Structure 1
Amino acid sequence: MADTFQLQGLDPAFFQPLFALDDGELRSRGIVRRFADAADTYPCRVSLGEAALGEELLLLPFEHQPASSPYRASGPIFVRRGVPLADLAPGELPPYVTKRVISLRAYDDAHMIVDASVAEGADIGREIRRLLGRADTAYLHLHNAKRGCYSCKAVRA
């Protein structure tokens, strides 16, 4: 079976100028500067990878579902300084995703949820394919199920 999906990170151009702000300016925007105090615990929504020990990140509110729909939503995300946008191959699932329990939400063209599920590890790819296999699914949002934070978007490859 050909891989039918691709994960997408967030555009770094939106976030990188924020790193130049001082901590007071960040606080006024609801943003907090962090330095990773443990490896593999700070998932970056741009690179779809984990921050290394000591790496600088911003924790900020992000409107991951900006559509005019009852499902309009925002939540906290981490982004790392100076990282490129994730460039994943179709069907590629990085450890950023597979080591977590993931909530998958399928949206239609009107940005309404048409299906949802929870999966972990090797089952995540199968669930992405199943949900994108629905004729009414336009795209998926993946969330970290335990904390509920937005993780990334999945689209048809």
Structure 2
Amino acid sequence: MAFRIQGLDPSQFSHLFGLSDTALTRLGAQRHVVDGKPGFPDRIEMRDLDIGETAILLNFEHQPADTPYRSRHAIYIREGAEHASDLLDTIPDVLRIRTISLRAFDASGAMIDADLAEGTELAALIARFFANRETAYLHAHYAKPGCYAARIVRS
């Protein structure tokens, strides 16, 4: 089963780039200088940021469906990111090295399945979920902190 892992569109965050720390705080966001790797998984470029890069931590609505599954949570993005990852049949290292909670949603945004997998086993779980014709898309979450990681669609 072919799949595509998509990073977030950076244009929805560009208004944050270059703001002062005070301005970010007023918006409920924080700037962090990366001081360890792994540890700051960027949701735009789908990679762990390198030491010395700047990350913005913000609250993001990753599941906007008007259902009980509507959800938002904290995510990191690389300040200044310009291009979203769009990976075909590839599990990026940022997912491969972590335990992932994978959630399957139908076209209405209702969760229809969920399971845990080590990132090295994620492709098999993606294939299993997409074997169900009702699955419209998947959300990957980092299992330990529970943060949204990526959207996965059929390719």
Tell me the TM-score range normalised by the shorter chain.
Answer: over 0.9
User: What's the counterpart of residue 156 of structure 1?
Assistant: 154
Shift of 1:6: 0.7
Residue-pair matches, total:
154
Q: What amino acid is aligned across from residue 33 of structure 2 in structure 1?
A: F
Aligned-residue RMSD, C-alpha: 0.9
Query: Following TM superposition, by how much is the alpha carbon of 1:45 offset from its aligned partner in structure 2, in angstroms?
Result: 0.3
Normalising by structure 1, we get a TM-score of: 0.95
Displacement of 1:148 in angstroms is 0.2
| Structure 1 Cα separation of the partners of residues 6 and 25 of structure 2 | 28
Segments of 5+ residues of structure 2 without an aligned counterpart are none
Identity across matched positions, percent: 41
Write 1 or 2 for the structure with the bigger share of strand: 2
Task: Output the CA distance in 1 between the equivalents of 2:37 and 2:114.
Answer: 30
For structure 1, the 5+ residue unaligned runs are: none
Counterpart Cα distance in 2 of 1:150 and 1:31: 16
Distance across 2 between alignment mates of 1:44 and 1:122: 19
Residue 123 of structure 1, aligned match among 121, 126, 129 = 121
- Secondary structure in 2 matching 1:25: helix
Report deviation, 1:41: 1.2
The amino acid of 1:86's aligned partner reads S
Q: Is the 8 A contact 2:29 2:56 kept in 1?
A: yes
| 1:125 positional shift | 0.5
- Secondary structure of 1:128's partner? helix
1:41 aligned partner: 39
What is the TM-score of this pair, normalised by structure 2?
A: 0.96
Match of 2:24 in 1: 26
Q: Which residue of 2 aligns with 1:64?
A: 62
After TM superposition, what 4+ stretches of structure 1 lie above 6 angstroms from structure 2? none
- What is the CA-CA distance between 1:24 and the residue it aligns to? 1.1
1:87 match: 86
In 2, Cα distance between equivalents of 1:93 and 1:143: 14
